[in-house]
Amino acid sequence: MRETDFVSGFARGLKVIEAFEEAQPKMSIADIARSTGLDRATARRCLLTLSELGYADYDGKFFSLTPKILRLGHAYLSATPLTHIVQPFLDQLSDQVGQSASVSVLDGTEIVYVARASQKRVMSINLMPGSRLPAYCASMGRVLLSALAPEEARAVLRQSTLKPFTAHTMTDAEALMAEFARVRAQGYAVIDQELEIGLCSIAVPLLNGRGRVVAALNIGAPAASGPADTLAERYLEPLRQIALSLRPLLA
């Protein structure tokens, strides 16, 4: 792509949209400027444009996104066969084990949820299709990173902010690379309260007919339901059965 092909105004508008999150559903011009690194005048023009187009509300001080913004994410979800293919299998798995089950894909340094069947709310945040989590400390993220060539996985870690979410979070790059190798060898990943205290999860890769990892499947369980080192004993076989059933269906 040539430099003249890049539409900087469009890129700034997307940056402003991405600044809104669950912790900051309402933001002022100053908030947006600080969060995005844009100057106040640029942030103001972007926000007023979003408001004029119906993608944001403005009360005179704060801006907030409107439901119309969901059209942008819905375009991806509705056009992605993966979402429609896996949902019935997720529902079946969740009912079988009595825990929430999810499927995600890798997007840069994060995983993006594309489908979810929820039994109970295990995390303090409300996970749903479109939700994002750091890949390095999520079970599905570790499965997806372990499927990359080592130099690619290391590049993702270099681009990630390896911060501790809890006292259990693994943040050392070399330790994470060793963990990816272990996940690759055993075929699954287990997370023990690294994202949030009280949350454990186990994930396996979803392979297509050619043996390529296209997504990850997990089960999340409260730590109170049993030690993390028993997750494989309890849930690995149901996860692998679903992954095996899905393999012929995944392009």
The verdict on residue 75 lying in a domain is: no
DSSP state of 4: G
- 192/203 Cα distance (integer angstroms): 12
DSSP 217-249: EEEEEEGGGS-GGGHIIIIIHHHHHHHHHHGGG
Q: Domain containing 46 — which CATH number?
A: 1.10.10.10
Q: Which residues contact 11 (CB under 8 A, 6 or more apart)?
A: none
Q: Please check the confidence at residue 70 and state whether its pLDDT lies above 80.
A: no
The verdict on residue 91 lying in a domain is: yes
Residues 36 and 132 in one domain: no
Residues 7 and 87 in one domain: no
Q: Please check the confidence at residue 33 and state whether its pLDDT lies above 80.
A: yes
Residues 90 and 13 in one domain: no
**Secondary structure of 107-154 as H, E, C letters:** ECCEEEEEEEECCCCCCCCCCCCCCEEEHHHCHHHHHHHHCCCHHHHH
- 6/63 Cα distance (integer angstroms): 27
What type of residue is 36? T
Query: Which of 34, 69, 104 is the C-terminal boundary of a domain?
Result: 69
Q: How confident is the model at residue 73 (pLDDT cuts 50, 70, 90)?
A: confident
Residues 64 and 85 in one domain: no
Query: Which of 22, 42, 69 is the C-terminal boundary of a domain?
Result: 69
Give how many domains the chain has, as a whole number: 2
Nearest-5° Cα angle at 204, 140 to 96: 105
Residues 104 and 228 in one domain: yes
Residues 51 and 115 in one domain: no
Residues 15 and 54 in one domain: yes
| Full residue range of the structural domain in which residue 17 is found | 3-69
Between strands 63-65 and 56-58, the pairing is antiparallel
- 57/78 Cα distance (integer angstroms): 25
The verdict on residue 120 lying in a domain is: yes
Residues 217 and 128 in one domain: yes
Residues 108 and 10 in one domain: no
Query: Which of 69, 103, 125 is the C-terminal boundary of a domain?
Result: 69
Residues 157 and 36 in one domain: no
- 83/125 Cα distance (integer angstroms): 21
3-state secondary structure of 140: helix
The whole-number average pLDDT for the span 203-229 is 93
Residues 198 and 138 in one domain: yes
The whole-number average pLDDT for the span 42-51 is 95
The verdict on residue 150 lying in a domain is: yes
Q: Domain containing 127 — which CATH number?
A: 3.30.450.40
The verdict on residue 16 lying in a domain is: yes
Between strands 100-107 and 213-222, the pairing is antiparallel
This prediction has a pTM of: 0.74
The whole-number average pLDDT for the span 53-70 is 91
Residues 137 and 42 in one domain: no
Predicted confidence (pLDDT) per residue in 111-143, tens digit: 999 999 987 655 556 788 888 999 999 999 999
Residue 12 CA to its chain's centroid (Å): 23
